[in-house]
């Protein structure tokens, strides 16, 4: 609700629950891209080792055209994810002072609050 601007605030998290779920989706989409990509690449010669390893993808999806279509749609979903990711990072940095984008340049993330899941992160050890 907060990310759709329907709720003014949310509980502070060091690792955003929405980001955790969306990255699980991203990893799934990347795996689909790899499997369908290799299935299309090796479908010209099913007798080679690549055709034997990835030929099942075409069978499961119902043919090479469906494999191509799934590969194409998932590629666009990854592009949409990247656009949304940049928006969410900049929004969190500018509107909530989360330090997401600025920490990429400075190397330090300053938080005005203590995140709920901060106990999952090991404290920094002094190197002095």
The H-or-E segment that residue 105 falls in is: helix 100-106
- Whole-model pTM above 0.75? no
Contact in structure between 51 and 43 (CB atoms under 8 Å): yes
Mean pLDDT of 25-38: 96
What are the CA-CA distances from residue 31 to residues 24, 38, 62, 78, 106 (Å)? Answer: 11, 11, 18, 11, 33
Q: CA neighbours within 13 Å on the CB side: how many for 80? A: 9
Query: What pLDDT does 124 receive?
Result: 57
pLDDT range class, residue 8, cuts 50, 70, 90? confident
Query: What pLDDT does 26 receive?
Result: 95
pLDDT range class, residue 18, cuts 50, 70, 90? confident
- What the chain holds in terms of domains, given with CATH numbers, is 17-96 (1.20.950.20)
Q: Encode pLDDT of 42-55 as tens digits.
A: 887 766 777 778 88
Q: Is 93 exposed, middle or buried (0-12, 13-18, 19+ CB in 10 A)?
A: middle
The Cα 110–Cα 77 span in angstroms is 32
In Å, how far from its chain's centre is CA 124?
27
């Amino acid at each position: 609700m907060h990310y759709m601007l329907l709720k003014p605030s949310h509980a502070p998290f060091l690792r955003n629950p929405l980001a955790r779920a969306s990255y699980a989706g991203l990893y799934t989409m990347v795996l689909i891209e790899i499997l369908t990509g290799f299935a299309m690449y090796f479908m010209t010669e099913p007798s080679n080792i690549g055709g034997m390893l990835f030929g099942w993808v075409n069978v499961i999806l119902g043919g090479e055209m469906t494999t191509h279509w799934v590969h194409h749609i998932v590629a666009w979903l990854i592009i949409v994810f990247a656009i949304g990711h940049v928006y969410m990072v900049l929004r969190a940095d500018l509107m909530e002072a989360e330090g997401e984008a600025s920490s990429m340049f400075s190397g330090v993330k300053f938080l005005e609050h203590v995140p709920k899941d901060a106990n999952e992160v090991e404290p920094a050890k002094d190197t002095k």
